[in-house]
Amino acid sequence: MVVPASNPTIGTFSAGKTTITSPATGDVLYAVEADATNPTSGATMCSPSSQTTSKDATAMPLKDTAGATTTAAELDFTGCS
Q: Residue 37 forms beta bridges with which residues?
A: 44
Q: CA-CA distance, 49 to 32, in Å (whole number)?
A: 14
Domain edges within the chain = 10-56
Q: What is the pLDDT of residues 34-73, one digit of tens each?
A: 999 988 898 888 989 999 999 999 999 999 888 888 899 9
- CB 62: neighbour CB atoms within 10 A? 19
**One-character DSSP codes across 23-49:** PPPS-EE--EEEE-B-TTT--B-SSS-
Confidence of residue 74 (pLDDT cuts 50, 70, 90): very high
Q: What is the pLDDT of residues 3-45, one digit of tens each?
A: 887 888 889 999 999 999 988 888 889 999 999 998 889 888 8
List the one residue out of 74, 2, 77, 79 whose CA is nearest residue 36.
77
